[in-house]
């Protein structure tokens, strides 16, 4: 729904300064992003079949240098939301009018960097930033209630 009904993003405005941005902070969920980009026309289905293969541009974490439509290379948990805060702040200063969306995992939210980014977003009143948390109750070592 986000990419198809809410965000201002298309192949035609991919370089546009006024288009919306999306940051997959939980970069390990790259298949979700790649399949969405395919549906939007940034990738084709043949590209998807190369996922995580040697020399493929579709690796386990998204890379903005190799994949059209990827706004931030992510991998280390916590860094994506920090980058999204920076994008939203720059947009607010430049008054470009676009919005920034970030998808985080609930386990990722235990990272101190996530909380620092959240405090910065509140401090700068970034009303153009939307953080979405995938609350699945899991992180790499198990249930988020049992792992700190």
pLDDT of residue 148: 67
Full residue range of the structural domain in which residue 18 is found:
2-143
**Two tokens, residue 27:** 């970069």
Question: Is residue 36 assigned to a domain?
Answer: yes
Ranges of residues in the chain whose predicted pLDDT is under 70: 148
pLDDT of residue 125: 98
Question: Is residue 56 assigned to a domain?
Answer: yes
Question: Is residue 129 assigned to a domain?
Answer: yes
Report helix, strand or coil for 103.
strand
pTM greater than 0.85 (yes/no) = yes
* Number of domains the chain contains: 1
Q: What is the CATH number of the domain that holds 26?
A: 3.40.50.970
> Can you list the positions of beta strands (E) in the chain?
21-24, 100-105, 129-134, 138-139, 142-143
Question: Is residue 97 assigned to a domain?
Answer: yes
Question: Is residue 148 assigned to a domain?
Answer: no
């Amino acid at each position: 729904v986000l990419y198809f009904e809410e965000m201002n993003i298309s192949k035609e405005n991919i370089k546009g300064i006024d288009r919306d941005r999306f940051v997959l902070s939980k970069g390990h969920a790259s298949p979700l992003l790649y399949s969405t980009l395919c549906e939007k026309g940034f990738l084709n289905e043949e590209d998807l079949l190369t996922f995580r293969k040697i020399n493929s541009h579709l690796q386990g974490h998204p890379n903005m240098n190799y994949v059209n439509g990827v706004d931030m290379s992510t991998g280390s948990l916590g860094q994506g939301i920090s980058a999204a805060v920076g994008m939203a702040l720059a947009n607010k200063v430049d008054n470009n009018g676009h919005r920034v969306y970030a998808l985080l995992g609930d386990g990722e939210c235990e990272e101190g960097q996530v909380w620092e980014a959240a405090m910065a977003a509140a401090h700068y009143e970034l009303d153009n930033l939307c953080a979405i948390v995938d609350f699945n109750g899991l992180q790499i070592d198990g249930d988020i209630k049992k792992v700190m």
